[in-house]
Amino acid sequence: MKKKSRFFQMICSLSAVCLTLLVSSPLALLAFSNINTAPPAVQPESLSKAAMYTEPSLVADAYYMNENTDSQPILAKPAYDVFTVEERQAKGLALEVPKASPYYGAKVVYLTFDDGPDPDNTPVVLNILKDSGIKATFFVVGNQVEKYPDILRRIYQEGHAIGNHSYNHVYRELYQSPNSYVLQLRHTDQVIKQTIGVRPRISRAPGGSAGSFTKEYWEMLRKLGYIEMGWNISSGDASSANAKRIMGNIAAQMENKNLWSHAVVLMHDGRGHSETVKALPEIIKYYKDRQFEFGVINLETPSPW
Ligand SMILES: [Zn+2]
């Protein structure tokens, strides 16, 4: 009986994969080319897990790095790598990130959410973003991804950018040495790749790089091809600020017009951050009213400072 049902399951997964390939065959070709510019052809909801693992790059509208890392990335799209650091090393592929000139618009804002995925906050944040028709960036923690893989899949499928925010977010373990920091990034890469089939190239140091990174950390990240991305607007939601205060913090920092070309806003969707979720519609409205363009963090995002 057991064998039979497993066989049946296998047939089901196989036919789902075949169907997906058939429906998206023109896209399948694109997926193997260096740059996939086409919009997703298949509704994520209709994909079985097996199909998603087989053709992850068909799901999201993103820039995928594969064997050729030296091509020009595409503005406004999340960037993912088909290979982990280990796989690149084994294949003798370049590790460093491809060169891209930083994009400064007249008014660009990057909404970023750290410490998720969280079962209470992240889905609500995703709903708000969807209703507003905008994309954001999620710096996720590896052990949270293990607990809530479906939420990570949703972030990915809905076209947001994903960044690496360590495996366990424990400062005393993370910042023992550049090596212990990078080991956590690589571990989280594996977890993310197992979940969505690709891994990010952007990362954000828990607590920020200031005060934790030495020159050796930066050197190691550069060599391994991670783009460390801080922020220049803090929502102040790490303390117990309420929604009104969070909005006020952001508005006050936006007085600095030098930040308008690349405002990177730090927020949290991790546990206990329901006030951030509450403030989010107002934050989005603030930027929409002022005609800001909403960007996702990718290889072309300028350094926040
Ligand atoms: Zn964090």
**What is the pLDDT at residue 16?**
43
Of the candidates 112, 128, 129, 119, the one whose C-alpha atom is nearest the C-alpha of residue 152 is: 119
Query: pLDDT digits over 194-227, tens only?
Result: 999 999 999 999 999 999 999 999 999 999 999 9
pLDDT at position 136 over 70: yes
In whole angstroms, give the CA distance from residue 266 to residue 250. 9
Dump the DSSP string for 46-107.
Answer: G--HHHHHHSGGGTS--EEESS--SSPPPTTS-EEESS-HHHHHHHT---SPPP-PPP--SS
- Can you give the pTM of this predicted structure? 0.81
**Separation of CA 72 and ligand 1 centre (Å):** 30
**Separation of CA 249 and ligand 1 centre (Å):** 18
pLDDT at position 40 over 50: no
Q: To which residue do tokens 């079962």 refer?
A: 119
55 or 69: which leads in pLDDT:
69
Mean pLDDT, range 270-298, rounded to an integer: 97
Domain locations along the chain? 1-56, 108-294
In whole angstroms, give the CA distance from residue 101 to residue 206. 26
The pLDDT-based confidence of 72 (bands split at 50, 70, 90) is low
Of the candidates 121, 58, 113, the one whose C-alpha atom is nearest the C-alpha of residue 297 is: 113
**Separation of CA 53 and ligand 1 centre (Å):** 28
Within a 10 A sphere around the Cβ of 59, how many other Cβ atoms? 26
Q: Which residues line ion ligand 1, judged by CB < 5 Å?
A: 114-115, 206
Of the candidates 156, 124, 160, 110, the one whose C-alpha atom is nearest the C-alpha of residue 270 is: 124
Query: pLDDT digits over 165-202, tens only?
Result: 999 999 999 999 999 999 999 999 999 999 999 999 99
Homologous superfamily (CATH) of 108-294 is Glycoside hydrolase/deacetylase (3.20.20.370)
The token duo for 158 is 């809905």
